[in-house]
Structure 1
Protein backbone atom coordinates (compact mmCIF):
# COMPACT_ATOMS: atom_id res chain seq x y z
CA UNK A 1 0.00 0.00 0.00
CA UNK A 2 1.32 3.43 -0.90
CA UNK A 3 -0.87 5.52 1.43
CA UNK A 4 0.31 5.82 5.03
CA UNK A 5 -2.59 5.81 7.46
CA UNK A 6 -2.70 8.21 10.37
CA UNK A 7 -6.07 7.20 11.83
CA UNK A 8 -6.63 5.40 15.11
CA UNK A 9 -5.89 1.70 15.41
CA UNK A 10 -8.91 -0.58 15.18
CA UNK A 11 -9.40 -3.97 16.83
CA UNK A 12 -8.93 -5.60 13.42
CA UNK A 13 -5.58 -3.82 12.95
CA UNK A 14 -4.43 -5.01 16.39
CA UNK A 15 -5.49 -8.57 15.58
CA UNK A 16 -3.55 -8.59 12.29
CA UNK A 17 -0.51 -7.17 14.07
CA UNK A 18 -0.71 -9.86 16.77
CA UNK A 19 -1.22 -12.77 14.36
CA UNK A 20 1.62 -11.81 12.04
CA UNK A 21 4.07 -11.01 14.85
CA UNK A 22 3.34 -14.27 16.68
CA UNK A 23 3.85 -16.20 13.43
CA UNK A 24 7.25 -14.56 12.91
CA UNK A 25 8.21 -15.37 16.51
CA UNK A 26 7.26 -19.04 16.00
CA UNK A 27 9.24 -19.21 12.75
CA UNK A 28 12.33 -17.59 14.27
CA UNK A 29 12.04 -14.46 12.16
CA UNK A 30 12.61 -10.91 13.40
CA UNK A 31 9.91 -8.67 14.75
CA UNK A 32 11.07 -5.99 12.32
CA UNK A 33 10.15 -8.29 9.44
CA UNK A 34 6.77 -8.84 11.08
CA UNK A 35 6.16 -5.11 11.43
CA UNK A 36 7.09 -4.54 7.79
CA UNK A 37 4.65 -7.25 6.68
CA UNK A 38 1.87 -5.81 8.83
CA UNK A 39 2.62 -2.32 7.52
CA UNK A 40 2.17 -3.54 3.96
CA UNK A 41 -1.15 -5.17 4.86
CA UNK A 42 -2.80 -2.31 6.74
CA UNK A 43 -1.09 0.69 5.18
CA UNK A 44 1.09 1.85 8.07
CA UNK A 45 4.82 2.26 8.58
CA UNK A 46 6.86 -0.50 10.20
CA UNK A 47 7.82 1.98 12.94
CA UNK A 48 4.15 2.67 13.72
CA UNK A 49 3.44 -1.06 13.88
CA UNK A 50 6.42 -1.61 16.20
CA UNK A 51 5.36 1.22 18.48
CA UNK A 52 1.79 -0.13 18.64
CA UNK A 53 3.06 -3.64 19.41
CA UNK A 54 5.40 -2.57 22.21
CA UNK A 55 3.10 0.01 23.77
CA UNK A 56 -0.24 -1.85 23.67
CA UNK A 57 -0.74 -5.11 21.79
CA UNK A 58 2.13 -7.12 23.31
CA UNK A 59 0.68 -6.72 26.83
CA UNK A 60 -2.51 -8.48 25.69
CA UNK A 61 -0.68 -11.49 24.21
CA UNK A 62 1.95 -12.33 26.83
CA UNK A 63 0.78 -15.95 27.11
CA UNK A 64 0.64 -16.39 23.33
CA UNK A 65 4.15 -14.94 23.03
CA UNK A 66 5.53 -17.48 25.50
CA UNK A 67 3.84 -20.30 23.58
CA UNK A 68 5.25 -19.00 20.28
CA UNK A 69 8.75 -18.81 21.80
CA UNK A 70 8.42 -22.39 23.06
CA UNK A 71 7.35 -23.52 19.59
CA UNK A 72 10.32 -21.68 18.08
CA UNK A 73 12.71 -23.37 20.51
CA UNK A 74 11.24 -26.77 19.71
CA UNK A 75 11.51 -25.98 15.99
CA UNK A 76 15.17 -24.98 16.38
CA UNK A 77 15.95 -28.12 18.36
CA UNK A 78 14.38 -30.20 15.62
CA UNK A 79 16.47 -28.39 13.00
CA UNK A 80 19.66 -28.95 14.97
CA UNK A 81 18.85 -32.63 15.40
CA UNK A 82 18.13 -32.90 11.69
CA UNK A 83 21.40 -31.13 10.84
CA UNK A 84 23.40 -33.42 13.09
CA UNK A 85 21.74 -36.44 11.50
CA UNK A 86 22.58 -35.12 8.04
CA UNK A 87 26.19 -34.54 8.99
CA UNK A 88 26.43 -38.04 10.41
CA UNK A 89 24.96 -39.43 7.22
CA UNK A 90 27.37 -37.46 5.06
CA UNK A 91 30.36 -38.64 7.07
CA UNK A 92 29.12 -42.23 7.00
CA UNK A 93 28.55 -42.23 3.25
CA UNK A 94 31.74 -40.49 2.14
CA UNK A 95 33.66 -42.38 -0.46
CA UNK A 96 35.74 -45.07 1.24
CA UNK A 97 38.79 -43.94 -0.65
CA UNK A 98 38.61 -40.55 1.10
CA UNK A 99 38.77 -42.24 4.49
CA UNK A 100 41.73 -44.47 3.88
CA UNK A 101 40.38 -47.45 2.03
CA UNK A 102 43.75 -47.83 0.40
CA UNK A 103 45.46 -50.58 2.37
CA UNK A 104 49.15 -51.06 2.97
CA UNK A 105 50.10 -47.34 3.00
CA UNK A 106 49.35 -45.71 6.36
CA UNK A 107 50.66 -42.30 5.29
CA UNK A 108 48.44 -42.08 2.18
CA UNK A 109 45.43 -43.31 4.18
CA UNK A 110 45.91 -40.57 6.77
CA UNK A 111 46.41 -37.90 4.11
CA UNK A 112 43.22 -38.85 2.28
CA UNK A 113 41.24 -38.76 5.55
CA UNK A 114 42.61 -35.33 6.40
CA UNK A 115 41.64 -34.02 2.94
CA UNK A 116 38.07 -35.21 3.47
CA UNK A 117 37.92 -33.55 6.88
CA UNK A 118 39.36 -30.32 5.43
CA UNK A 119 36.71 -30.23 2.73
CA UNK A 120 34.05 -30.90 5.32
CA UNK A 121 35.35 -28.13 7.59
CA UNK A 122 35.54 -25.68 4.70
CA UNK A 123 31.92 -26.38 3.90
CA UNK A 124 30.93 -25.68 7.48
CA UNK A 125 33.16 -22.62 7.54
CA UNK A 126 31.08 -21.18 4.70
CA UNK A 127 27.89 -21.97 6.63
CA UNK A 128 29.32 -20.35 9.75
CA UNK A 129 30.32 -17.21 7.85
CA UNK A 130 26.80 -16.99 6.43
CA UNK A 131 25.33 -17.28 9.92
CA UNK A 132 27.69 -14.57 11.15
CA UNK A 133 26.59 -12.33 8.29
CA UNK A 134 22.93 -12.91 9.12
CA UNK A 135 23.62 -12.28 12.79
CA UNK A 136 25.22 -8.93 11.97
CA UNK A 137 22.25 -8.01 9.81
CA UNK A 138 19.90 -8.87 12.68
CA UNK A 139 22.00 -6.85 15.11
CA UNK A 140 21.85 -3.88 12.73
CA UNK A 141 18.08 -4.26 12.39
CA UNK A 142 17.76 -4.46 16.15
CA UNK A 143 19.92 -1.37 16.59
CA UNK A 144 17.89 0.55 14.00
CA UNK A 145 14.73 -0.59 15.74
CA UNK A 146 16.02 0.60 19.09
CA UNK A 147 16.97 3.98 17.63
CA UNK A 148 13.51 4.30 16.09
CA UNK A 149 11.90 3.37 19.40
CA UNK A 150 14.03 5.95 21.24
CA UNK A 151 13.02 8.59 18.71
CA UNK A 152 9.33 7.74 19.06
CA UNK A 153 9.53 7.78 22.86
CA UNK A 154 11.24 11.16 22.75
CA UNK A 155 8.63 12.46 20.30
CA UNK A 156 5.83 11.16 22.51
CA UNK A 157 7.34 12.84 25.57
CA UNK A 158 7.67 16.11 23.68
CA UNK A 159 4.07 15.99 22.46
CA UNK A 160 2.81 15.08 25.94
CA UNK A 161 4.67 18.05 27.35
CA UNK A 162 3.13 20.34 24.74
CA UNK A 163 -0.35 19.00 25.54
CA UNK A 164 0.21 19.64 29.26
CA UNK A 165 1.40 23.16 28.54
CA UNK A 166 -1.64 23.87 26.37
CA UNK A 167 -3.97 22.51 29.05
CA UNK A 168 -2.26 24.71 31.66
CA UNK A 169 -2.54 27.80 29.44
CA UNK A 170 -6.19 27.01 28.82
CA UNK A 171 -6.93 26.80 32.54
CA UNK A 172 -5.13 30.10 33.18
CA UNK A 173 -7.00 31.86 30.38
CA UNK A 174 -10.30 30.36 31.52
CA UNK A 175 -9.69 31.53 35.11
CA UNK A 176 -8.76 35.01 33.88
CA UNK A 177 -11.89 35.11 31.75
CA UNK A 178 -14.09 34.14 34.69
CA UNK A 179 -12.42 36.78 36.87
CA UNK A 180 -12.98 39.41 34.16
CA UNK A 181 -16.67 38.48 33.90
CA UNK A 182 -17.03 38.83 37.66
CA UNK A 183 -15.35 42.26 37.62
CA UNK A 184 -17.57 43.45 34.78
CA UNK A 185 -20.68 42.17 36.60
CA UNK A 186 -19.69 43.99 39.79
CA UNK A 187 -18.98 47.18 37.86
CA UNK A 188 -22.36 46.99 36.17
CA UNK A 189 -24.16 46.53 39.52
CA UNK A 190 -22.16 49.38 41.07
CA UNK A 191 -23.03 51.71 38.19
CA UNK A 192 -26.72 50.79 38.56
CA UNK A 193 -26.64 51.61 42.30
CA UNK A 194 -24.92 54.95 41.65
CA UNK A 195 -27.65 55.89 39.14
CA UNK A 196 -30.36 55.01 41.67
CA UNK A 197 -28.65 57.11 44.34
CA UNK A 198 -28.37 60.07 41.96
CA UNK A 199 -32.04 59.83 41.10
CA UNK A 200 -33.05 59.77 44.79
CA UNK A 201 -31.04 62.88 45.76
CA UNK A 202 -32.82 66.33 45.77
CA UNK A 203 -31.73 68.80 43.11
CA UNK A 204 -31.42 72.58 43.58
CA UNK A 205 -30.98 75.66 41.38
CA UNK A 206 -30.23 79.30 42.14
CA UNK A 207 -32.84 81.99 41.38
CA UNK A 208 -32.23 85.58 40.28
CA UNK A 209 -31.90 86.75 43.89
CA UNK A 210 -29.24 84.22 44.73
CA UNK A 211 -31.51 81.88 46.65
CA UNK A 212 -31.51 78.07 46.12
CA UNK A 213 -34.70 76.48 44.93
CA UNK A 214 -35.37 72.71 45.06
CA UNK A 215 -36.19 71.14 41.74
CA UNK A 216 -38.87 68.49 41.90
Structure 2
Protein backbone atom coordinates (compact mmCIF):
# COMPACT_ATOMS: atom_id res chain seq x y z
CA UNK A 1 0.00 0.00 0.00
CA UNK A 2 1.42 3.41 -0.92
CA UNK A 3 1.93 6.07 1.71
CA UNK A 4 -0.46 9.03 1.53
CA UNK A 5 0.99 12.49 1.90
CA UNK A 6 -1.05 15.23 3.52
CA UNK A 7 -1.90 18.24 1.37
CA UNK A 8 -0.84 20.63 4.10
CA UNK A 9 2.41 18.88 5.03
CA UNK A 10 5.60 20.86 5.33
CA UNK A 11 7.91 20.90 2.32
CA UNK A 12 11.55 21.88 1.89
CA UNK A 13 10.61 25.31 0.56
CA UNK A 14 8.54 26.08 3.68
CA UNK A 15 11.31 24.80 5.95
CA UNK A 16 13.89 26.92 4.15
CA UNK A 17 11.74 30.06 4.34
CA UNK A 18 11.04 29.50 8.03
CA UNK A 19 14.76 29.05 8.73
CA UNK A 20 15.69 32.21 6.80
CA UNK A 21 13.11 34.31 8.61
CA UNK A 22 14.08 33.02 12.06
CA UNK A 23 17.80 33.52 11.41
CA UNK A 24 17.11 37.02 10.14
CA UNK A 25 15.24 37.86 13.32
CA UNK A 26 18.02 36.42 15.49
CA UNK A 27 20.58 38.59 13.67
CA UNK A 28 18.51 41.74 14.20
CA UNK A 29 17.86 41.08 17.92
CA UNK A 30 14.19 40.42 17.29
CA UNK A 31 12.21 37.70 18.99
CA UNK A 32 11.54 34.25 17.62
CA UNK A 33 7.84 34.86 18.20
CA UNK A 34 8.01 37.78 15.77
CA UNK A 35 9.86 35.51 13.34
CA UNK A 36 7.19 32.83 13.61
CA UNK A 37 4.47 35.40 12.97
CA UNK A 38 6.27 36.73 9.88
CA UNK A 39 6.92 33.24 8.53
CA UNK A 40 3.33 32.22 9.24
CA UNK A 41 1.99 35.03 7.10
CA UNK A 42 4.35 34.09 4.26
CA UNK A 43 3.54 30.38 4.18
CA UNK A 44 -0.11 30.57 5.25
CA UNK A 45 0.23 28.79 8.58
CA UNK A 46 -0.19 29.77 12.20
CA UNK A 47 2.67 31.21 14.24
CA UNK A 48 2.23 28.28 16.64
CA UNK A 49 2.68 25.79 13.81
CA UNK A 50 5.83 27.59 12.68
CA UNK A 51 7.19 27.62 16.21
CA UNK A 52 6.47 23.94 16.67
CA UNK A 53 8.08 23.06 13.34
CA UNK A 54 11.14 25.19 14.10
CA UNK A 55 11.68 23.75 17.57
CA UNK A 56 10.87 20.13 16.67
CA UNK A 57 12.64 19.64 13.34
CA UNK A 58 14.42 22.57 11.76
CA UNK A 59 16.43 24.13 14.60
CA UNK A 60 18.71 21.09 14.88
CA UNK A 61 19.75 21.42 11.25
CA UNK A 62 20.78 25.06 11.66
CA UNK A 63 22.96 25.02 14.80
CA UNK A 64 25.95 26.60 13.04
CA UNK A 65 23.85 29.26 11.35
CA UNK A 66 22.15 30.11 14.65
CA UNK A 67 25.52 30.61 16.34
CA UNK A 68 26.67 32.86 13.47
CA UNK A 69 23.44 34.84 13.65
CA UNK A 70 23.93 35.35 17.39
CA UNK A 71 27.49 36.55 16.79
CA UNK A 72 26.22 38.95 14.12
CA UNK A 73 23.62 40.18 16.61
CA UNK A 74 26.35 41.00 19.13
CA UNK A 75 28.40 42.90 16.57
CA UNK A 76 25.23 44.70 15.44
CA UNK A 77 24.53 45.75 19.04
CA UNK A 78 28.11 46.93 19.48
CA UNK A 79 27.95 48.97 16.28
CA UNK A 80 24.64 50.51 17.38
CA UNK A 81 26.11 51.41 20.76
CA UNK A 82 29.15 53.00 19.12
CA UNK A 83 26.87 54.99 16.82
CA UNK A 84 24.88 56.27 19.82
CA UNK A 85 28.09 57.27 21.60
CA UNK A 86 29.18 59.24 18.54
CA UNK A 87 25.81 61.00 18.41
CA UNK A 88 26.06 61.96 22.08
CA UNK A 89 29.62 63.16 21.56
CA UNK A 90 28.50 65.55 18.82
CA UNK A 91 25.79 67.19 20.93
CA UNK A 92 27.69 70.46 20.94
CA UNK A 93 26.97 70.83 17.24
CA UNK A 94 23.23 70.30 17.65
CA UNK A 95 20.80 73.13 18.16
CA UNK A 96 18.68 72.77 21.31
CA UNK A 97 16.34 75.62 20.53
CA UNK A 98 14.29 76.75 17.56
CA UNK A 99 15.76 80.25 17.81
CA UNK A 100 19.29 78.97 17.07
CA UNK A 101 19.90 77.75 13.51
CA UNK A 102 21.00 74.12 13.22
CA UNK A 103 24.11 75.17 11.34
CA UNK A 104 25.29 77.29 14.26
CA UNK A 105 27.31 75.33 16.77
CA UNK A 106 26.66 75.85 20.49
CA UNK A 107 29.10 75.13 23.24
CA UNK A 108 28.74 72.57 25.96
CA UNK A 109 28.18 75.32 28.55
CA UNK A 110 25.40 76.88 26.48
CA UNK A 111 23.70 73.52 26.11
CA UNK A 112 24.02 72.88 29.82
CA UNK A 113 22.60 76.35 30.57
CA UNK A 114 19.56 75.63 28.38
CA UNK A 115 19.01 72.29 30.08
CA UNK A 116 19.20 73.91 33.52
CA UNK A 117 16.75 76.61 32.41
CA UNK A 118 14.27 73.98 31.19
CA UNK A 119 14.71 72.01 34.42
CA UNK A 120 14.01 75.14 36.50
CA UNK A 121 10.85 75.85 34.49
CA UNK A 122 9.69 72.28 35.05
CA UNK A 123 10.40 72.54 38.78
CA UNK A 124 8.34 75.73 38.93
CA UNK A 125 5.43 74.00 37.17
CA UNK A 126 5.77 71.08 39.57
CA UNK A 127 5.63 73.42 42.57
CA UNK A 128 2.50 75.10 41.18
CA UNK A 129 0.82 71.74 40.68
CA UNK A 130 1.85 70.67 44.17
CA UNK A 131 0.29 73.82 45.68
CA UNK A 132 -2.89 73.25 43.67
CA UNK A 133 -2.99 69.65 44.89
CA UNK A 134 -2.66 70.77 48.52
CA UNK A 135 -5.44 73.33 48.05
CA UNK A 136 -7.75 70.73 46.49
CA UNK A 137 -7.06 68.26 49.31
CA UNK A 138 -7.93 70.92 51.86
CA UNK A 139 -11.18 71.67 50.01
CA UNK A 140 -11.98 67.97 49.86
CA UNK A 141 -11.37 67.54 53.60
CA UNK A 142 -13.51 70.60 54.34
CA UNK A 143 -16.39 69.20 52.26
CA UNK A 144 -16.08 65.83 54.01
CA UNK A 145 -16.19 67.62 57.36
CA UNK A 146 -19.28 69.58 56.34
CA UNK A 147 -20.99 66.40 55.25
CA UNK A 148 -20.23 64.73 58.58
CA UNK A 149 -21.61 67.75 60.45
CA UNK A 150 -24.85 67.77 58.48
CA UNK A 151 -28.01 68.19 60.56
CA UNK A 152 -29.70 65.06 61.90
CA UNK A 153 -32.89 65.97 60.02
CA UNK A 154 -31.02 65.97 56.70
CA UNK A 155 -29.38 62.65 57.48
CA UNK A 156 -32.70 61.15 58.59
CA UNK A 157 -34.37 62.29 55.36
CA UNK A 158 -31.52 60.78 53.25
CA UNK A 159 -31.80 57.52 55.19
CA UNK A 160 -35.58 57.46 54.76
CA UNK A 161 -35.26 58.07 50.99
CA UNK A 162 -32.71 55.26 50.70
CA UNK A 163 -34.95 52.92 52.71
CA UNK A 164 -37.96 53.70 50.52
CA UNK A 165 -35.95 52.99 47.36
CA UNK A 166 -34.87 49.63 48.78
CA UNK A 167 -38.47 48.77 49.67
CA UNK A 168 -39.65 49.67 46.14
CA UNK A 169 -36.99 47.39 44.64
CA UNK A 170 -37.93 44.58 46.99
CA UNK A 171 -41.61 44.98 46.16
CA UNK A 172 -40.75 44.90 42.45
CA UNK A 173 -38.82 41.65 42.91
CA UNK A 174 -41.70 39.91 44.64
CA UNK A 175 -44.14 40.70 41.80
CA UNK A 176 -41.96 39.20 39.11
Query: Structure 2-normalised TM-score?
Result: 0.52
Structure 2 vs 1, CA of residues 32 and 80 (structure 1 numbering), >3 Å: closer, same or farther?
A: same
1:7 CA drift (Å):
2.1
Contact kept, 8 Å, 1:99 with 1:116, in 2: the verdict is no
Matches within 5 A, 1:129-148: none
1:77 CA drift (Å):
0.3
Which residue of the partner structure matches residue 64 of structure 2? 63
Which residue of the partner structure matches residue 84 of structure 1? 85
Which residue of the partner structure matches residue 137 of structure 1? none
Equivalents in 2 of 1:116, 1:29: separation in Å? 39
Confirm or deny that 1:45 pairs with 2:46. Answer: yes
Equivalents in 1 of 2:76, 2:118: separation in Å? 29
Which segments of 5 or more consecutive residues in structure 2 lack a partner in the other structure? 1-5, 96-105, 121-176
Equivalents in 1 of 2:9, 2:47: separation in Å? 16
**Deviation per residue, 1:108-159 (Å, 9 max, x gap):** xx8x27617959xxxxxxxxxxxxxxxxxxxxxxxxxxxxxxxxxxxxxxxx
- Partner of 2:71, secondary structure, is helix
Equivalents in 2 of 1:116, 1:10: separation in Å? 64
Which segments of 5 or more consecutive residues in structure 1 lack a partner in the other structure? 102-109, 120-216
Matches within 5 A, 1:52-201: 52-91=53-92, 95-96=106-107, 99=109, 112=113, 115=116
Which residue of the partner structure matches residue 26 of structure 1? 27
**Deviation per residue, 1:6-29 (Å, 9 max, x gap):** 722111111110011101111111
Equivalents in 2 of 1:34, 1:81: separation in Å? 27
CA-atom RMSD, angstroms? Answer: 2.8
Structure 2 vs 1, CA of residues 117 and 75 (structure 1 numbering), >3 Å: closer, same or farther?
A: farther
Structure 2 vs 1, CA of residues 35 and 90 (structure 1 numbering), >3 Å: closer, same or farther?
A: same
- Partner of 2:90, secondary structure, is helix
Equivalents in 1 of 2:76, 2:7: separation in Å? 37
Structure (1 or 2) with the larger CA radius of gyration = 1
Equivalents in 2 of 1:33, 1:48: separation in Å? 13
Give the total of aligned pairs.
105
Contact kept, 8 Å, 1:38 with 1:49, in 2: the verdict is yes
